[in-house]
Amino acid sequence: MTLTSLLPLIALALPIIGGLAALGAGRRNRRLGIAVVAGTAVTTFLITALLALAAKDGLLREMTLVQIAPPVWIVFRIDPLGTLFAATVSGLFLLALIYAFGYLPDDRRQWRFHAFAMACQGCMIGVAFAGNLVTLLVFYELFSLLSYPLITHDRTRVAVAAGLKYLVYIITGGAFVWAGIILVFHLGGEIRFLPGGLADINGSPGLVLATFACLVTGFGVKAALMPLHGWVPDAHPAAPAPFSAVLSGVMVATGVFGILRVMFEIFGVSRLIEMGVLPWLGGIAGASVLLAAARAVGEDDLKRRLAWSTISQMAYVLMAVSTIGGQAVTGAFVHITHHAFLKGGLFFCAGLVATVTGATRISQLRGLAQRMPVTSLALTVLALGLVGIPPLSGFISKWLLGLGLADAGAMVRLGVMLAGALLAAVYLWPIIYRIWLPTDDPRFAHSHSREASGWMLGILIATGMLAVILGTAATLPGFPLDLAKNAAQWLVEPPP
Amino acid sequence: MPIELHDLRPVLAPLISALCAGGVFVMGTSGRWRAIWSLAAAGLKFVIVWSMLPGTLAGSVYIFRVGEILPGLSIAFRVDAFGLFYALVTATLWVLTTVYALAYMKGSHALKRFFGFFALCISTTVAIAFAENLFTLFLFYELLTVCTYPLVIHDQDAEARRAGRKYLAYTLCGGAVILAGMLLVFHSAGTLSLAEGGILGDVDDHRVLLLIFLTLVGGFGVKAAIMPLHAWLPAAMVAPTPVSALLHAVAVVKAGAFGVVRVLYDVFGVNLLKSLGFATWLGYLAGFTIIAGSIMALRQNRLKARLAWSTISQLSYILLAASLLTPAAALAAIIHLANQAFTKITMFFVAGAIEHNTGKTHIDQLDGIGYRMPWTMAAFTIAGLSFMGVPLLAGFITKWYLSLGALAADSGGFVALMALSGLLNAAYWLPIIYRAYFRETGIPQLREETPWMLLAPIGICAGYVILLGTGAQAPLMPFSLAESAVRLAFGLEGGIP
């Protein structure tokens, strides 16, 4: 057992321990608490980023931690897909945790938020590094439960109701995942993720199909695949903005991540084609793209609109993956990462605007640029990025997705994607022009301009710049595109 | 074949506890001697039982024959893997329960009677675990009923007496039915010895076999609280908390479940049952009990009542698993004996600690209790999550093997049942956790942690729940014992498929 193979364990334990330490330290000395949180988050990000780079260069490790019952082991592994996701998770968490220092009132409960959020981060990294289905389930269930106190952090009636809805959806989804795992083990005698899928899954076609359906349904709840998306539009507005960002940016993607693992490393490409499930998956994802985008258009609440947009955007990923073409899968991975930072940034904006002006609805944003020019600029850049305007990061991923769909000859899905992108423009553009058009309405045109200061604005600027950098320098080695190419190749054409 | 060794320990374990109980009865007016004798009863038995673990794991079977009452009716003890597993669970929990009871019952009336019978219960339970034949099993099974009665009616008020009457009525009727079944077994097989592979192999009258099945499983099923024979259990929760813990988690209900498993595997035998097909019906009944018990639990507001209904539901996991007749499911049945015991006893201890500390007995009074008693409620949370089947906790292991066993028996429907039961468990445990930590109370909660004599058993049990879920292979975990029990029952050589 070398230090390298221990790194996944360190990366997942570090935030959990750091969170507890911050809880203890922060309540006595705020500066010390901030230092602990920031230090832990940065270190975790560095470890995961380094692992991602190393995995690209061919580092593959597996570490068996403990046997919880004879056939069931807790296993961590380093591979291109997992490290890319872990790096995305810890990158977004780094931003969100620092943002939260400005967003949350400076009191004892703030440290509770940080402790839970960092525990959640650790468990999500655990999902990324999981080497078999049970390990994945362990951390999947844990972070799902740990999210509850974060969603209901504001303790309002709305938040509690949203929290309940979230729990019901997620626990039911968890039960499906659990049943699917049992079936996989029964049929395949193995729960490890293997490149190219398990060697044999013996069972009647109906049972194999049921297994796949259980797993996709279970993970689909978290991936907000319609019609399993019900918790998303309620939980996002209810949660504090830094956690909404995480919910949208990476938590929904965790569901997609689970589906990817199941598709490529449990069932395997050839078996999926044989089972004939891919068109169905593509169809459901395509419907989600359009329906969710249409709902976003009609939504006035800013955070809800963004939540609907997340459902639509994550469905792109599944739609692309359902073609199982290498190019499309690359696009899917890039989109997961780019979307995480764009959508996270938009939620940061929404939270900032709500704190400073109290505005939560899009109709209340008129003339915002007069009062908060920097915030407005960041909001605009991020929104344009999500629409897919070059040279921002969203364009890169959309381009790759489109290219991949065309490559795979999936013309209908390509059409759906373009329509979805168009709808994204329809639901995001009104935000942009409301902000920038000057208004004489006395309700909105306050004479004094007032930016939020400190943590929040800094993070906002950082996400805006990230959108530009990831867009213009996408091809640099070590950037998400590079890693995603590698991960996609590893999944679609696994090494022997 | 296991090597049979004559050894004094199988009889020493129950005997020593009985002697210590005598000590309590004689010298128990003094609080100190009462405590010493009670702890001695639990502690000595603990040491004796654990001392047999290495030998049993190595494949020996310890035997001690006391003598024959009538020709064919002998009192004899035999320690096999399954019996030792049950005895280990009981012996371990009994030490903790005794410590807890000593702190909990301080200042109550009739303590001599209470601790005397408490120690006697230990003695009879171990004798049940080590019984070599149905007669010995039956004898101590009935004695257990008698010994627990004074504990159930400890409060001596009208409600307690009513519950006590109900308890006696159910369990004694169950006992009478077992007696009838025993007669039938002796009549048709000529022996009462429990043996791997069963003793009814030569009986070919289908009706007699059915009658034996109904009487024995029905009789033991009373204490295992399978529906519709469960009504005594929710009533009996009027007893003081340590007794509830004993009734629900360790001795009484487990004696019933243990009896059913013995009947299935060691009286009938796996192969005979498979050809008869009776067990399928037991499985359906257990499945119904799992769901119906959970739904009833959902409707209770009194914390102990919810725990009692949940017990009914959880016990049927054992019966369901045993009735599936596949190795993996049998493993689940045996392991769940321990898993359910540790998890449920944690919860009962917590319920008792809350009542002891704050006087609160109902779930809707528990708002904010997690801030008053953080460690106590943390233990409760662990137990609740375990029942939900969250991985890394004990409940997950049960469900894993039970589902695999169900799939191997081509009864995939029970996997869905497990998933549904997990959801129902979430529906009745999470609200308590929610109230404890997340419900606004408006008043600041002062920290008021449980006294350590109560908290220590709680913490150890909760820790064990985690250990059972993560470290099944750790040296002190009798997991391999359960495996060898399954191998014996199924006549397997290698690992469990």
**Cβ contacts (< 8 Å) between B426 and chain A: which residues?**
167, 171
Contact A137 B407 (CB under 8 A): no
Our CA-based measurement puts residue A181 at a distance from the nearest CA of chain B, in whole angstroms, of 9
Q: Which residue of B has its CA nearest to A184?
A: B404
Q: What is the pLDDT of residue A89?
A: 92
Indicate if the pLDDT at residue A127 is higher than 90: yes
Contact A179 B438 (CB under 8 A): no
Alpha-carbon Rg for chain A, nearest whole angstrom, is 21
Q: Which residue of B has its CA nearest to A137?
A: B391
Categorize the per-residue pLDDT at A169 as very low, low, confident or very high, splitting at 50, 70 and 90.
very high
Indicate if the pLDDT at residue A218 is higher than 90: yes
Q: Which residue of B has its CA nearest to A210?
A: B412
The residue with tokens 């009838």 is B180
Percent with pLDDT over 70 in chain B: 97
Indicate if the pLDDT at residue A39 is higher than 70: yes
Contact A67 B412 (CB under 8 A): no
Our CA-based measurement puts residue B190 at a distance from the nearest CA of chain A, in whole angstroms, of 40
Nearest to B423 among A152, A171, A182 (CB): A171
In chain A, residues 137-156 whose CB comes closer than 8 Å to chain B: 137-138, 141-142, 145, 149, 152, 155
**Cβ contacts (< 8 Å) between A176 and chain B: which residues?**
419
Q: What is the pLDDT of residue B240?
A: 83
Query: Which residues make Cβ contacts (< 8 Å) with residue A372, sequence separation at least 6?
Result: A353, A356, A357, A449, A450, A451, A452
Our CA-based measurement puts residue B431 at a distance from the nearest CA of chain A, in whole angstroms, of 10
In chain A, residues 235-294 whose CB comes closer than 8 Å to chain B: none
**Cβ contacts (< 8 Å) between A69 and chain B: which residues?**
397, 400-401, 472, 479
Is A72 an interface residue toward B (CB < 8 Å)? yes
Indicate if the pLDDT at residue B206 is higher than 90: no
Q: Give the pLDDT confidence of A256-282 residue by residue, as tens digits.
A: 999 999 988 888 888 888 888 888 988
Alpha helices in B153-265 (DSSP H): 158-189, 206-223, 232-235, 241-245, 252-262
Q: Which residue has the higher pLDDT, A165 or B67?
A: A165
Coil vs helix vs strand at B68 = strand
Q: How much is the average pLDDT of A107-123?
A: 88
Is A185 an interface residue toward B (CB < 8 Å)? yes
Domain extent listing, chain B: 3-490
**Cβ contacts (< 8 Å) between A183 and chain B: which residues?**
407, 415
Instruction: Name every residue in B having a CB less than 8 A away from some CB of A.
Output: 385, 388-392, 396-397, 399-401, 403-404, 407-408, 412, 415-416, 418-420, 422-423, 426, 430, 437-438, 440, 469-473, 479, 483, 495-496
- Looking at residue A265, the DSSP 8-state letter turns out to be I
In chain A, residues 199-228 whose CB comes closer than 8 Å to chain B: 207
Q: What is the pLDDT of residue A298?
A: 86
Q: What is the pLDDT of residue A496?
A: 61
Indicate if the pLDDT at residue B475 is higher than 70: no
Q: Give the pLDDT confidence of A430-481 residue by residue, as tens digits.
A: 888 888 887 766 665 554 557 766 788 888 888 888 888 888 887 888 788 8
**Cβ contacts (< 8 Å) between B496 and chain A: which residues?**
70
Is A167 an interface residue toward B (CB < 8 Å)? yes
Q: How much is the average pLDDT of A115-144?
A: 91
Q: How much is the average pLDDT of B357-368?
A: 84
Strands B3-6, B60-70: pairing kind: parallel
Beta strands per DSSP E along B395-458? none
Contact A70 B419 (CB under 8 A): no
Q: How much is the average pLDDT of B289-302?
A: 90
Indicate if the pLDDT at residue A321 is higher than 80: yes
Q: Give the pLDDT confidence of A82-110 residue by residue, as tens digits.
A: 888 999 999 999 999 888 888 887 777 88
Coil vs helix vs strand at B220 = helix
Nearest to B391 among A70, A138, A185 (CB): A138
Strands B3-6, A72-78: pairing kind: unpaired
B110-147 as b/e, with b when 16 or more CB fall inside 10 Å?
ebbebbbbbbbbbbbbbbbbbbbbbbbbbbbbbbbbeb
Residue A56 contacts residue A486 (beta carbons within 8 Å): yes
Q: Give the pLDDT confidence of B142-189 residue by residue, as tens digits.
A: 898 888 888 888 888 888 888 888 888 898 899 999 999 988 888 888
**Cβ contacts (< 8 Å) between B412 and chain A: which residues?**
207
Contact A66 B472 (CB under 8 A): no
Q: Give the pLDDT confidence of B425-442 residue by residue, as tens digits.
A: 999 898 898 888 887 777
CA separation for the pair A135, A127 (Å, rounded):
7
**Cβ contacts (< 8 Å) between B472 and chain A: which residues?**
67-70
Q: Residue A455 burial (CB < 10 Å; 0-12/13-18/19+)?
A: middle
Q: How many CB atoms lie within 10 A of CB B378?
A: 17
Categorize the per-residue pLDDT at A125 as very low, low, confident or very high, splitting at 50, 70 and 90.
very high
ipTM attached to this prediction: 0.85
**Cβ contacts (< 8 Å) between A178 and chain B: which residues?**
389, 399, 419, 422
Quote the tokens at residue A108.
């004892």
Domain extent listing, chain A: 277-496
CA separation for the pair B462, B468 (Å, rounded):
10
Categorize the per-residue pLDDT at A413 as very low, low, confident or very high, splitting at 50, 70 and 90.
confident
Nearest to B404 among A134, A141, A182 (CB): A182
- At residue A159, φ and ψ (nearest 5 deg) are -65, -40
Contact A138 B389 (CB under 8 A): no
Q: Which residue of B has its CA nearest to A150?
A: B438
Nearest to B400 among A145, A167, A182 (CB): A182
Q: Taking chain A, what is the end-to-end CA distance rounded to the nearest angstrom?
A: 24
Contact B392 A152 (CB under 8 A): no
Best B429, B430, B435, B466 residue to mutate vs chain A (most A CBs within 10 Å): B430
Contact A68 B426 (CB under 8 A): no
Q: Which residue of B has its CA nearest to A133?
A: B391
**Cβ contacts (< 8 Å) between A172 and chain B: which residues?**
423
Categorize the per-residue pLDDT at B495 as very low, low, confident or very high, splitting at 50, 70 and 90.
low
Best A68, A108, A190, A207 residue to mutate vs chain B (most B CBs within 10 Å): A68
Q: Angle B81-104/B111-130 helices, nearest 10 degrees? A: 170
